[in-house]
Amino acid sequence: LEGHLFSNNISPEGPQPPFLSLIVSGGHSMLAYVEDWYRYRILGETQDDAAGEAFDKVARILGLPYPGGPQIEKLAATGNAHAIAFPVARLKDAPFDFSFSGLKTAVLYHVRKSLGNEAATLGESQSLTSVKADLAASFQHALITAILETTARAHERFPVASVALAGGVACNKALRQALMKLGEARGFQVFYPPPIYCTDNAAMIARAATIRLANGHATNGSAYQLAPEPGLKLGSSG
CATH number at residue 237: 3.30.420.40
pLDDT confidence tier of residue 181, bands split at 50, 70 and 90: very high
Query: Which class for 24: exposed (0-12), middle (13-18), buried (19 or more C-beta within 10 A)?
Result: buried
- Residue 123, φ and ψ in degrees, nearest 5: 90, 0
10 within domain boundaries: yes
Q: How many residues does the chain have?
A: 238
42, pLDDT greater than 90:
yes
Task: Catalogue the long-range contacts made by 179-183 (C-beta closer than 8 Å, 24 or more residues apart).
Answer: 179/22, 179/147, 179/148, 179/151, 182/148, 182/151, 182/152
102 within domain boundaries: yes
Rounded CA-CA distance 213/204 in Å is 14
- Write down the pLDDT at residue 113: 87
Query: Which class for 4: exposed (0-12), middle (13-18), buried (19 or more C-beta within 10 A)?
Result: buried
**Count of the separate structural domains present in the chain:** 1
Q: What's the whole-number mean pLDDT along residues 100-112?
A: 95
123, pLDDT greater than 50:
no
Rounded CA-CA distance 102/189 in Å is 31
222, pLDDT greater than 60:
no
pLDDT confidence tier of residue 28, bands split at 50, 70 and 90: confident
117, pLDDT greater than 60:
no
227 within domain boundaries: no
Range of the domain at 65: 1-32+40-217+233-238
143, pLDDT greater than 70:
yes
Better-scored residue on pLDDT, 76 or 222: 76
- Write down the pLDDT at residue 205: 76
Q: What's the whole-number mean pLDDT along residues 160-171?
A: 95
Question: Mapping DSSP to helix (H, G, I), strand (E, B) and coil, where does residue 51 land?
Answer: helix
Rounded CA-CA distance 187/192 in Å is 16
225 within domain boundaries: no
- Write down the pLDDT at residue 69: 95
- 54-58, 78-82, 156-160, 214-218: range with lowest mean pLDDT: 214-218
224 within domain boundaries: no
pLDDT confidence tier of residue 122, bands split at 50, 70 and 90: very low
User: Do 174 and 74 form a contact (C-beta atoms < 8 A)?
Assistant: no
226 within domain boundaries: no
